[in-house]
A and B are shown apart, each in its own frame.
Chain A
């Protein structure tokens, strides 16, 4: 917290200090590479992934597509939340509206209307602009109305707009919008006369959209409008004193965000070839927020990085061997970066190993059945941890549940302790965490992924509210 009366330059003095070692070198390199070169690198990475890594594997293509989709969505949210500082909790409605808009003009949805028997099957080149333009008008209208309110009240109204959209898509005109069954059998995109049928094809579409969008947004960011957004975000009263039309600028940001979301929605609908109202739930909204917040609100690169991290983490958590790499990798990284100096780190690591072996031996001596179960991880982890973690045979769920609660309580205790006590408490906590992971969390990967997302949000907000790539905003009082 900046003390009252300290100005921004003084408050940021720490950031300007020269750093030595690999951090300093990295920072030097970071300062040398220009923005457009970085965009080129992003495009190159996406090209290499699509061309050489995917190699016909549908899962890889789908993961790549999801990453790009969430990156595009986070970019759109970044305009509203990161740049204009409007807490838009109804963003998901525009994503959904774009998807439904595309679906209506590319399926049999209008089949029961007298003028268009057999449905409206516009080519994508026509239906995407119609859907996006429709959502843009919707965005301006909702923005004009909602932006009469400020701060929390704006967040509340947009939250309800989002909920109302999901309810409406589910209940209004089930003959046309499909109700809970959704719309399916959508027509895909075409290039010339060839249809894009594969997931990889949509991956390439998304790559092009993402790279072009990043370029445009970068130009927008440094334009007069972009500067006006940031001025309004930091102090709307001062901005209006500087003759910035505050309301117009806010509505513009809101509508721009809506347009990006709608564009993402059309691609999503075409790739899925179906839309369901459950695709546009509050859960998805929170995921998009997780991407933006983790990467750093206000930064284009941050939004994209957040999309990559969140989507890839979710994907990894769904496979037992990958999730084990992720879990133990994060564990080791956290220990290595947080425990200093090195001899303490070595002592803690050795203690964790010794503690586990001892606990395993003691429990095994008391009851053989208590250690007879096998760890939940797959591959060599399972073999390596067989004589380390305590997994009983028989009732793994109850045991795992108790461990889960114990692990949460222990983590909370560790956070509260200081100094040498914390180091000592870390040892059993890590061990209980590992046991809990092996006995319970790997069994329900879907739920585990959701819990991890929640934990990521909380930890990021507490440790680094500006996200991975964001710049810290000093609030001058």
Chain B
């Protein structure tokens, strides 16, 4: 039972991270119908920004500012930086192709992903960097309930994720921007005719989606410690699985999908085999796609003739 609950906790924590990345995937797919393969790399860039924020403030063992301040600073800087990077990518790589054949932006996204990964490799080298978070967020601060450990980083991840998801839901459902985003997602031409600034809406969507990926990158660095230029690909792929399982284009779907993937991963690695956990995640995706291609919350696409 202890192991079961511990696995559940781990699964929920990783699931929250996947959900944050998946939300960006889903939002971008919703407004542009584009599979943005560079999204996972934005998460990686976020992790690097967080790492350099720690170095900036004296390194993990000799911080010159209080820890809560550092955490807030890291997340804000990573969110803003990665958000702006996402907007720049949309502006220069995807916007010129908005009316091109469907395959063109997809190939461009592969190219952007290549450039991001290798630029980080060029600038910061291929060595694995370590957040060394236990040095300033010690495990002694963790909560022990009946043999189950919940450490502070996990609480932070779940808390921040819930706040961001709730904020996003309110943003999409209650604000003017959210309304225009939903309008662009359902029919871009009609939205344009009704006076919605489509370019700005899409740029904002990229900003929000990328910022969430950036924050997720910082939090994953705190939780797992090691970061390198290639962590984006696999995390992006899993988050993408989450978005698809939940129903791509659907925001609640992305959150639920993230949790499903996180739980599957942690249960399969603690009860079946850690070697096969990735394979199991991919198998879940393939089976989901075949049974219900639109995902749990998605609506089947209408074919226009």
Contacts of B283 on A, CB cut-off 8 Å? 164
Main secondary structure of the interface of A (DSSP, over half): helix
Number of cross-chain contacts by CB at 8 Å: 122
Contacting pair A451 B118 (CB below 8 A): yes
Contacting pair A450 B107 (CB below 8 A): no
- Within 246-304 of B, Cβ neighbours of A (below 8 Å) are at 248, 275-276, 278-279, 282-283, 285-286, 289-290, 293, 301, 303
Contacting pair A168 B279 (CB below 8 A): yes
Q: Which of A153, A440, A448, A475 is packed against the most chain B CB atoms within 10 Å?
A: A153
> Which one, B88, B93, B233, B289, contacts A153 given CB within 8 A?
B289
Contacting pair A404 B233 (CB below 8 A): no
Least distance between B4 CB and chain A CB atoms (Å): 25
CB of B140 within 8 A of chain A? no
* Number of chain A residues whose Cβ lies closer than 8 Å to a Cβ of chain B: 51
C-alpha spacing A161/B93, complex, angstroms? 28
- Within 315-345 of A, Cβ neighbours of B (below 8 Å) are at none
Given A152-B33, A156-B244, A454-B114, does the pair A289, B107 have CB atoms closer than 8 Å? Answer: yes
CB of A453 within 8 A of chain B? yes
Contacting pair B106 A87 (CB below 8 A): yes
Least distance between A316 CB and chain B CB atoms (Å): 17
Q: Which of A297, A404, A454 is packed against the most chain B CB atoms within 10 Å?
A: A454
Least distance between B76 CB and chain A CB atoms (Å): 22
With both beta carbons as reference points, the residue of chain A lying nearest to B234 in the complex is identified as: A163
CB of A133 within 8 A of chain B? no
Contacts of B305 on A, CB cut-off 8 Å? 237
Stretch at the interface among A16-24, A97-105, A304-312, A456-464: A456-464
Given A167-B279, A404-B119, A440-B122, does the pair A149, B289 have CB atoms closer than 8 Å? Answer: yes
Contacting pair B114 A164 (CB below 8 A): no
> Which one, B108, B123, B237, B303, contacts A458 given CB within 8 A?
B108
Contacting pair B101 A286 (CB below 8 A): no
CB of B135 within 8 A of chain A? no
Least distance between B238 CB and chain A CB atoms (Å): 10
C-alpha spacing A450/B117, complex, angstroms? 9
> Which one, A152, A171, A450, A462, contacts B279 given CB within 8 A?
A171
CB of A293 within 8 A of chain B? yes
Known: A155-B35, A237-B305, A465-B97. 8 other contacts (CB 8 A): A1-B99, A87-B106, A153-B293, A157-B289, A286-B114, A447-B121, A450-B117, A453-B111
A-B contact pairs, 29 of them (CB 8 A): A87-B106, A152-B248, A155-B35, A156-B244, A157-B290, A160-B285, A164-B282, A168-B279, A237-B305, A282-B233, A297-B103, A412-B92, A447-B118, A450-B118, A451-B119, A451-B122, A454-B111, A454-B118, A456-B111, A458-B93, A458-B108, A458-B111, A458-B112, A458-B115, A461-B97, A461-B100, A462-B96, A462-B97, A465-B104
